[in-house]
Amino acid sequence: MTRKLIECFDDYPMINNKDEITRHNYIRYRLGRLKHEFWLKNRKNKEKIYVEEYDWFILNNLKPGNTCMFGSAGYYLEDLIENLTVVETWNVVKGFYPKAHIVKHRQELEKLFPNTFDNFVVNNNRGDHWVVDAPTEHMIEYTKTMHDGALLFYSFRDTQIVFNRFIDQYEHFLNWAKSLEKVCDLHLIWHDIKFAKKQKISNNIEYDIMENPDTSNGNLKFVFQYKRNDYKLDMSYYNG
């Protein structure tokens, strides 16, 4: 079961300098990262490793080689992924995970990791969301770090994307994913798109039975392959 974390960023902003490593900024960082809790648990108990369900699906479908987890608290999976590179945008991560690479802009990725990764993972990174229609420009930057045939696991929440909600939402995001083939040679090989559903409990009252289908990873999930379309995912690990 996915746990929901109540976020109140306006009441708990970064203080002084958002890049300063302080206890306050650490707590602020944790507010929006449910998977950080798994990292804390795994540090305390090395005999049992906690893994979130969707990450378990990703782990069992990674290609051999180098893996990057961007803005996804991927450090909690360090013991399970060989050749893992963790990239974050908040310097406070360096305070508890010194091996993290910190970037302020995605354009820095190509300079740091040109043609490096066989897998690139972005799970519900809030920094990708506040753009019109879809984070296409970010996807272009991610591909600049990837080998031909590499996989890109990408997920986000529709509630943090600006788009016309009176259109067919499913088709909107599916068409966006398919359009990336022409934009940056990312071939869509799998997707799972879910939205909140309302159920009537009386004549005039409705409530959401799926307010957030997946708070941790996002309700829109995609897997792409760069410049190829021949990779077969093992769906037996997916519990969607």
Q: How far apart are CA 172 and CA 220, in angstroms?
A: 11
Q: What is the mean pLDDT of residues 163-190?
A: 90
Residue matched to tokens 């974390």 = 5
Q: Report which of 80, 81, 55, 79 is spatially closest to residue 66, judged by C-alpha positions.
A: 81
Q: How far apart are CA 54 and CA 238, in angstroms?
A: 7
The band of 6, judged by pLDDT with boundaries at 50, 70 and 90, is: very low
Phi, psi of 132 (to 5 degrees): -70, 135
Q: Report which of 89, 79, 10, 98 is spatially closest to residue 39, judged by C-alpha positions.
A: 79
Output 176 or 12, whichever has higher pLDDT.
176
pLDDT of 19: 58
pLDDT of 219: 85
pLDDT over 60 (residue 87): yes
Output 108 or 161, whichever has higher pLDDT.
108
pLDDT of 79: 92
β-bridge mates for residue 222, sequence order: 154, 191
Contact 120, 138 (CB under 8 A): no
pLDDT of 218: 79
CA-CA-CA-CA torsion sign (90, 91, 97, 102): positive
pTM: 0.84
Q: What is the pLDDT of residues 13-54, one digit of tens each?
A: 545 555 566 888 888 787 767 788 888 888 888 788 899 999
Q: How far apart are CA 149 and CA 104, in angstroms?
A: 27
User: DSSP string of 147-171?
Assistant: EEEEEEEEEE-GGGSB--TTS-HHH
Provide the 8-state DSSP code for 127. G
CATH superfamily of 52-237: Vaccinia Virus protein VP39 (3.40.50.150)
pLDDT of 4: 41
Provide the 8-state DSSP code for 119. E
Q: Which residues contact 6 (CB under 8 A, 6 or more apart)?
A: none
